[in-house]
Amino acid sequence: MAEPGEGGWSLQASPVPEGVRLELALADLGGGPVTAAIVLDRAEARAFARALLAAAGDAAERTFPKPDG
């Protein structure tokens, strides 16, 4: 089981015969720690990684003001 990191969560990826096992650990969800684990094949893992990158980019654009110009 993954242990939550300094920010209260962690994401760990481990190779398994079926592809990759992702574990998301949260330090506090509804009053207690929770770990969610999913197994994805290679294509699913790549699609998931692309979706995470897109979400991170969208969040960064919304977080930081755009320069005037």
- HEC string for the chain: CCCCCCCCEEEEEEEECCEEEEEEEECCCCCCCEEEEEEECHHHHHHHHHHHHHHHHHHHHHHCCCCCC
pLDDT value of position 2: 64
Q: Which residue has the higher pLDDT, 66 or 46?
A: 46
The pLDDT-based confidence of 1 (bands split at 50, 70, 90) is low
Q: How many domains does the chain have?
A: 1
Q: What's the domain range around 15?
A: 9-63
pLDDT per position as a tens digit, 4-21: 777 789 999 999 999 999
User: Is 2 contained in some domain?
Assistant: no
Q: Is the model's pTM score more than 0.75?
A: no
pLDDT of residue 69: 63
Average per-residue pLDDT in the chain? Answer: 88
